[in-house]
Structures are given as C-alpha cells and as structure tokens.
Structure 1
Amino acid sequence: MHRNRGSWGFQPEDTLIEDSGEFPSSLELNGQKTELLAGCAMDVPGLSHRNEDVTSESWRKHRKHVFVLSDAGKPIYSRYGNEEALSSTMGVMMALVSFVQAGGNTIQSIFSDEHTVVFLQQGPLVFVSVSTTHQSEQQLRGELLHVYHQIVSMLTQASIKRIFEHRKNYDLRRLLFGSERVLDSLLDVMDFDPSFMLSAVQCLPLPSSSRDILSNILQKSITPNLVFSFLIAQNRLVSIVQEKTVAEDTRLKPSDLHLLLNLIRASSAFQAGEIWMPICLPLFNHDCYFYAYVANLDPPECTICLVLLSTDKEAFYAMAECKRKIEQAFMSQNALECVANSQMYCVEDVGVNNLRHFLYKPSNVMEHHRQLPQFTCPEMAVPYKSQEERIRLLDLYRNMHNRIHSTSRPLKLIYHSADGETLLAWVTGKFEMYACFTSLVTKKSAISELTKLLRWIKKEEDRLFICHLPKYSTTSQSGRVSTDRGRSDRANASDAGFMSLL
C-alpha cells in the first residue's frame, strides 16, 4: 500500500555508496529480483573504438574527440580509445587548465589550422572536445554540456560534488562503469540529429484526433506523485501530459527529454519488460531523482514506449497499475494502431519545387510552447540517405545556425550557395527555418518557394506538433502545490540502482 502524500516533492539524492563506489546489481521488479544484463538496443556507431590504439593514425583522424577527466587529472571517459592509455594526454589537458587558472583566468579554447579544442569545467569535472569539424566554439561547448548533463542524469550534481569533496582523487569510472555506451550514443546522435542544435523535440506526425485520444487516456490514468507521462514512438514524442502544478514553478526542457530518449535508445535493458529506475533531469532539478517507470507497449518490435515519472521511490506497483489501465484503454479503442501505422513524411509530400530538406521550429504553436519547443522536418532523402551525407547536411545547417544567431552580428536571413546545394536560413518572431534546395535555385526563387512551404506547414500544424499540453491533478489540495527542490527525507542507498541497468 502506498501513501498518498497529498502533494509531490523531490527526493534529494543521497544514494551513492561513496566509499566502495558500488551499486546494487539488481532491481526489485514485481516482487522478484531480475538481473538486467548489459547490452545495446541499437547498433551504436563507435562502440568498436573502445579499445582502439591511441597511437594509430585512424585514432587521430576521427572528426571529433571528447574527453572527460576530474580536476585532479583522473581520466573518466574518452570517446575513442581506452582512458588508461590516454591518461598522459588527459594529464597534459589538465596541466593547461591549471596553468591558465594559476594566472587567474579560465581556459576556453585553442585554435589551430585543422583543430578546435574547447574546454568546459563543471564543478570537479573537466570536459574537452578536439574537433576537425567547422562547428563553432559555442556549439562544441554546448555538446560538452550535454555530455555533462547525461552524467548528471545518472548520478546527480549533488552526488558528484559530494564525492569529490570527500575524496578529490576519486575514480568516477567506478560509478559510471557500463555507462560508456550511453555517452557514446549521445555523441553519435548529436552528429546527425538537429534536435540538439535547435533545442527542441520532434513529434511523430499524427492526426490531432488520434493524438487527443492517446492524451486523454494518459490524462485519466494517474496516481499520486505521478508528474509526467510520455508516450514515445520511433524515438519521437507522441504525447505528453503533466501534473498541472509543474508549470507554476518550473518547466520541462527539451534537453532533459533528449537525455531520457538517449538513455532508452542506448540500453537493451529497456526491452526487458517493466523497468523502475532513478533518473535525474538536470535542467529540471540537477540535485534530485525522479523515479522512472519504462515499458514497451509493442513487443517484440519495441517501437512504442511508455514512460511515467514519479517522485515516490515506492511507487513501482502504482505505476504498473497505471500502465495496465493505459494498455486496456489503448486496446479497447484500438488507439495504438494509428501510432504503429504512422509514417514520417517526405519532402515530396510538401509539393515545393527544388526543395530537398528543411527544419522548421515555430515560436507560437501553443500557449505554453516555451515549455516544450518543437520542430519538424521530413525524412532524409537522396542525396542525404547515407550517414556521411546526413552529417554533412547537418554541418551546413550548424554553420547557418551559428551565423544567424551570432552574438556579435545576429542576422534574420541568410542565402548560401554551396557546391552541391543552396541553403537558406530565415528567423522571424514566429518561426526559425533552415531549408536546403537544389544548387541552381536563386534567392528570390528560394524565398518564393518557402512561402509555399509555410502554407503547407500551417495547414498541417495540428498533425506535426503537439498544440495542446494536457494536464491533470493528482492531489485534492487547493492552491499552489510546491515543487520544492527541498532536502526532505533522504533516500536509501539501495535506490542507486541505475548502473545495474546498463
């Protein structure tokens, strides 16, 4: 039996076993101890590079390296190669950081003819990106910040700080062991997913009537201390409902959803059935855990996923009951069929001449759009089918994004003619758009075609975006319910079972 607290509040994170660095090796699921084996739910590029020879030419030729180390110089993570083999390299990086700090400054970046080296220090952790791409310093630092947030999502910022205050030379790999695939996956997906560049989430195109049915079912299937309910399909957001008091104090950021989606995508444990685990959403509250119930609704395909976030660490059975009610309602209304049959649209569906691809991020889709920025884009088509070409196109978009959002000289419109395509970036008070045309399109023609594209998007708006954010109440208390990031009851050490999932 679970207590109804009448309001929801966070559990402060104090769950790490700092002296031993150990985690429980199993979780209590449905009253039985179920071992969760390491694995990967998808072919994550780069996992084969874990033991790559760091003296080889192939290691040096990677387009982007990412290193994580402690401010004591202890290696924590390397995108390519073994951290131990790179300990001397990371030692040099830390020496640079310390040398500049000794002069009362903070090292930001180093530029050479072929490489850009960007540094980011967050508390006791130092992040370094060594890139041969044309990304700006700001964009590379943003990617490092995502890596930091992914680590925080597993350990919380409070725990990281406390560990290194207690023991400055602590080897954080002991707590992150097995999570390398999560960080690898994050870095891979950032290369070809525009969600991170736009700071927005992509929704699965769905008729508004079908989306409303799904949202209404989630809205009615609630339990005390349930804060968010997500339905995810094909790694895209289908529906989200939330406790109505959330908006009064804070809001869910796209970055937190990106981290959650990456965690689900990178681990095969989430295909094992019902999973109950602590997870921190760093931009929502970087010091406390939510407790996530994750279940696939269409085994064995595992393309439709239900995620319920609670603030009660004892709420597994309550969440499982919510899932049962949701499944029953979905079955009785045949609601998941529309999700299973939904397809991403292609650029030919738009009917705009010479258009190859586009990214569109509105500013006013719904009343609370700032809570959940969204974007839409068609499936990649020829000539951007290969991963290499997809990355190349996104690099072009990144260059346009950097120029149009320049802090020194922001722009409203950019027309750029590249070797194989023509690009146009356009930012107004209502939208932000990046479009790719064939190479011979003139500026005047491109703007004219974009006007047609805007009409098509307006017509399809209800299908492409979540235009209404359903809410519910799990408490009968009147007035404002606090989302106090407080320091109430400390959680038990046995709750820190995150790494056993990986």
Structure 2
Amino acid sequence: MSGFLAPPGFGSAPGEASTSDLPGLAEPHNISIQQIELPEAEPIEESALERLAHYPYQVFVLSEYGRPIYVSCGQEEQLCALFALIGIFVNRVRHWSGDMLHSISSRNLHAHFLFRKPLILCIVSKRREQLAAQLDVLFDQIVSTISRKQLEGVYEKRGDNYDLRRLLQGTDKYMDSCLEGWQTDLSQISCAIRVFPLPAPERDFLSTTIATTITAAAPEGVLFGIVLAHRQLVSMVRYKKYTINPKDLHILINFVSNNSTISVCPIWTPICLPYFNDNGFLHAYISSLWEGSAAYLLLLSVDRNAFNTLNTIKEGITEKLKANTKLFPGIESAISTQQMFQISNIGAGSDAMWNFLYKNRSSQQVCLSALRPPIVNDEERQHIVRTVGRLYGVLKSVEGTRVIYMRRKRDVLLVRAENSYDLQCILSPFCTPANAWILGDKLLKALKTHEGKHFITHTLSF
C-alpha cells in the first residue's frame, strides 16, 4: 500500500487553510508532493504469533468451549484464533476417537496438552522435559482460587460462553510465578520441598511453641501451623494425623512469595489445596512471624470466622518466641542470613564437587548446596536448572535407572537413585567414576550428620 504526505492545506475542507493562503503555492502545478511507502497494516494476531517465537515456552489455558482464560505472555485478546485452534485440536481427537491428545512434537518444538474438564491447558516449549508436570501444577494453581466443584459448576450455571477471567482476576501473578518456578526453582522441578536450614534445637523450640500455643487456645477447626521463609519450609505442626502434600505447600509458598501485603499487616483469605480437598476451601491466616521478619506464619482453619482468634494465637506465639533469650536470637539470625549446606562439610576432595541436589523420597524434602566456583553467575545457574530437569526426566521415563555417570565437556554428572533417596551431583570434568562414587558416599554421610539442620525429621501434632 502506498500513501503520500501533503503540505498543510492540501485537500482542505471549506473554512480551512488552502494552497492559496500560502505564498508561492497559489498555482496547483507548483505543489511538490513527496511520495513515500507506508508499510502494510500487519494483523494483530500475526505480529503476536511472531513475538511468541522468541519465547522459550508459552502456556495457554482455555475453556473446553474455546474461550481464552490465560496465556503466559499476557495477550489473550490478540491470540483468539490460536486459542480456537488449540481447542479444535483437543476436541476433535476427543470426538473422533474418545481419546485425549497428549502431545505434538517436531525437531525443535514440543506441545503438550492437558484436558481437565472444563479446561484445556497447553504448553509449547523448545525443551521437552516435564511438560505434563508443568501443566498439572498450573491446573492446581487455578484450583487453589476456584475449587474443582466451582470450576465444573460455573459453566453449567452461566453458560458455555462465560469468561472465567472474571473469577480469576488478579491471579495472573500466581500463575506466572508457578510457571517461572520450572525455570528457576530446583525444589519445584524435583517435586519436593526445600527445608530452611535451622539448627535442630531452634527448630524444635519454634514448632513446640506453635503447637502448645494453639493447644492452649483450643480454637475450633485449626488444622495446620506452618512457618515459611525465603520460599522454604521452616516448621510445621498439624492437628492429629492430618498431612499436607508438597504440591499444596508449593501453592502456599507461591501465594506468600507474591503477596507484598503480608509484610505490612496480617491477611485472611480462603484457599483451596487440591491434594487436601479439591472441592472445598481452608481459610488461611498469614502474618509476619515478628515485625520486619522474612519468616511468615500460616494458620489454616476450616472456620471462616476465626481471624480474631488466630490473630490472638499469633501474638501469643511471637511473645513466647521473643521471651526465650537463648534460642530466639539463633532463629532471628538464621532467618536473616540463610546459611545453605556447604560442600566443604564432606571433607577431603570436596573441591571436585561443584553442586548437588539430594531428595529424600519418603519425606519429599530436598537439600541443595550453596553455590560455589565455578558456578557463580546466572548462566551457570540456569545450566544447573536445565541439567536437573533433564535428569529427572530421564529418571521418570526410564524405569529402573539407578546410576548415571556422564562425562561432558564442562563437567561430570553423577546420579544415584535409590529406594529412599535421589542424589544428583555436578563435579569437575576431571573426576573419575571411582572418585565420583567416593565423593557421593562422603556427601551422604555428611548429610546424615547434619540431618537435623537441613531436614524436618518429625512433625509435632496438637
């Protein structure tokens, strides 16, 4: 399409300036009009699709009726045709064969689909690792806001064309964060919980204080008392034998990490924990454990009117903690400094081990090493995240895998998968298989020695 630029007054309407008003331009043939080329108006969806190609992954959520709900790039309205195409792919397979479309792969691009009535979720990624798990976690994040029962009933009550974004308003940051965790958070990639490093006496004192304060107040309906700090679990107490799944804990961690209001004042919010009860809500009291603290106390109750009672309990917990001048300073210092496991704890030869991840399979808890040279910058950290993701993909896809030793140009990988634990180590490229195995044994012994600091070995009940 071509266009032109005209001087002021050219083609003017009656009453506006005309060429006769301009000196030297009274005669039409004296007017010089510069011809320029204007670009074709690009369709919005086409330009949006081109931008998507630059992302390493993209996630889409839509209703089974094709209505856009969420896209990780935040451009739902500009990608309506793409949402419709995803819906057609999934629904055609369902209607033709009664089966579910799970994945489509090309050489450099992988699409995975998940149908959880009434939602369709799709991830398109340049990497193939754990795509199904990422969609599962995102669906759980949605259910934490709208219970499964509400989700299934909303379209029956309000029709197929209902825009679910009305009920999910303000929750995009939580969905964005849970997806970002797959690129940065090794505990999420390993489907486990990081325990905040804290000496056993201090952790026991904290847990006992929470449990006894709740017991003394005898509130109706309190099920869990949890302390989180820096996206890690510090302490947890529970009512009788109730348990909480690590995936539900990740939902709570995600909520706390993305809610700045909590550091200013306590909040009271309903939240659905899908692995505890995906059809109902618990009510969460969340507050800083003490003023200015990076540790947060969560009290979960089935009583929607328990805010004042739980606020009183929190004040009692804080008062008792501060009253212990022997143990409280240690808790306060640990929360502010966050000391991770040092590889030097394993003794001689530790320089050859650069990084590790240890997962206790029964407790679903992980311990990560502190960063040390040569792993110091963001690129090297991302290299670790990608490596761990690939290794977990191998362990899940190849059943019975017990040991992996892999020499690469920049490092050596050692994986030991036992019934009770998984151990992944990144070592110097000069480390032999025998030395790698010896270092792995030393690490396991060191972890056992420091178990009370880096793992929660028992959970108090009230």
Q: TM-score interval w.r.t. the shorter chain? A: 0.7 to 0.9
Question: Residue type of the partner of 1:314?
Answer: N
CA contact (8 A) 2:61 2:70 kept: yes
Per the TM alignment, residue 462 of structure 1 is displaced from its structure 2 partner at its CA by 1.2
Which residue number in structure 2 is paired with residue 413 of structure 1?
Answer: 403
- 1:294-346 deviation per Cα after TM superposition (whole angstroms, max 9, x unaligned): 0013443x411000000100101110011011010011014443233222233
Q: Compute the TM-score of the two structures, normalised by the length of structure 2.
A: 0.84
Q: CA deviation at 1:192?
A: 1.6
Shift of residue 444, structure 1, vs aligned partner: 1.5
Q: Secondary structure at the match of 2:276?
A: coil
Given the alignment, which residue of 369, 375, 379 partners 1:378? 369
What residue in structure 2 maps to residue 170 of structure 1? 162
Q: Which structure 2 segments of 5+ residues have no match? A: 1-43
CA distance 1:446–1:161, change in 2 (3 Å):
same
Moved over 6 A (4+): none
State percent identity of aligned pairs: 29
Aligned twin of 1:115 = 109
Give the C-alpha shift of residue 245 in structure 1: 3.8
* SS of equivalent to 1:410: coil
Give the C-alpha shift of residue 383 in structure 1.
3.8
Matches within 5 A, 1:487-498: none
Query: 2: distance between equivalents of 1:266 and 1:207?
Result: 28
* 2:341 pairs with 1:345: yes
Matching of residue 321 in structure 1 with residue 317 in structure 2: no
* Structure-2 residue corresponding to 1:465: 455
Quick check: 1:232–1:306 contact (8 Å CA) kept in 2? yes
Partner of 2:279: 287
Equivalent residues of 1:120, 1:141 under 8 A apart: yes
Deviation of the 1:191 alpha carbon: 1.3
| Cα separation, partners in 2 of 1:396 and 1:176, compared to 1, 3 Å | same
- The alpha carbon displacement at 1:134 in A equals 4.1
Find 2:88's aligned residue among 83, 91, 95.
Answer: 95
Q: SS at the partner of 1:447?
A: helix
Q: Structure 1: 5+ residue runs without aligned partners? A: 1-50, 364-369, 473-502
Match runs of 1:66-105 below 5 Å: 66-104=59-97, 105=99
SS at match of 1:423: strand
Q: Structure 1 residue 297 and structure 2 residue 304: aligned? A: no
- Residue 233 of structure 2: aligned partner: 237
2:120 alignment counterpart:
126
Q: Distance in 2 between matches of 1:101 and 1:337?
A: 60
Q: Distance in 2 between matches of 1:470 and 1:182?
A: 30
Does residue 448 (structure 1) correspond to residue 446 (structure 2)? The answer is no
Please say if residues 195 and 234 of structure 2, whose CA atoms lie closer than 8 Å, have aligned partners that are also in contact: yes
CA change 1:147–1:440 in 2 (3 A) is same
- The worse-fitting range, judged by mean Cα deviation, of 304-313 and 101-110 is 101-110
**Residue of structure 2 in register with 1:390 after alignment:** 381
Secondary structure in 2 matching 1:361: strand
Equivalent residue for 1:185, pick from 177, 180, 205? 177
Counterpart CA distance in 1 for 2:321 and 2:308 is 20
Secondary structure class of the residue paired with 1:66 = strand
Partner of 1:401, secondary structure, is helix
Deviation string 1:448-477 (CA, Å, 9 cap, x unpaired) is: 1111111111111111111111001xxxxx
- Structure 1 CA distance for aligned equivalents of residues 283 and 370 of structure 2: 34
3-state SS, counterpart of residue 375 of structure 1 = strand
SS of alignment partner, residue 99 of structure 1: helix
Which secondary structure state, in structure 1, belongs to the residue aligned with residue 273 of structure 2?
Answer: coil
CA contact (8 A) 1:182 1:267 kept: no
Whole-angstrom CA distance in 2 between matches of 1:279 and 1:53: 38
Secondary structure, counterpart of 2:329 in structure 1: helix
The residue identity in structure 2 corresponding to 1:235 is R
Distance 1:212 1:53 in 2: 58
- State which structure, 1 or 2, has the greater radius of gyration over its C-alpha atoms: 2
Question: Which one of the candidate residues 178, 184, 189 is aligned to 1:197?
Answer: 189
The one-letter code of the counterpart of 1:156 is S
Q: In 2, Cα distance between the equivalents of 1:326 and 1:422?
A: 47
Native 8 Å contact 1:205 1:463 kept in 2: yes
Alpha-carbon contact 2:48-2:78 (below 8 Å) kept: no
Output the CA distance in 2 between the equivalents of 1:304 and 1:97.
Answer: 44
Q: How does 1:474-493 map to 2 (within 5 A)?
A: none
Residues 376 and 464, structure 1, Cα contact 8 Å, conserved in 2: yes
User: How big is the alpha-carbon RMSD for the aligned residues of Structure 1 and Structure 2?
Assistant: 1.9
Which residue of structure 2 aligns with residue 359 of structure 1? 357
Aligned to 1:438: 428
Q: Distance in 2 between matches of 1:386 and 1:103?
A: 50
Deviation at 1:347, TM superposition (A): 2.9
| Secondary structure class of the residue paired with 2:144 | helix
Is 1:402 the counterpart of 2:354? The answer is: no
Match of 1:398, SS? Answer: helix
Structure 2 distance, partners of 1:411, 1:263, is 35
Question: Which residue matches 1:308?
Answer: 299
Q: Residue 297 of structure 2 aligns to a residue in which SS?
A: strand
Measured after TM superposition, the shift of residue 224 of structure 1 is 2.4
266-275 or 340-349: bigger deviation: 340-349
2-structure distance, mates of 1:262, 1:418 = 35
- C-alpha separation in 2, matches of 1:360 and 1:426: 10
For residue 220 of structure 1, give the secondary structure of its aligned residue in structure 2. helix
User: For residue 118 of structure 1, what is the amino acid of its counterpart?
Assistant: H
SS of the residue aligned with 1:176? coil
Tell whether the 8 Å contact from 2:207 to 2:235 is kept in structure 1 after alignment: yes
Structure 1 residue 57: deviation in Å? 4.8
| Aligned CA distance change for structure 1 residues 459 and 396 (closer, same or farther; 3 Å) | same
2:93 is matched by which residue type in structure 1?
Answer: V
Structure 1 residue identity aligned to 2:109? H
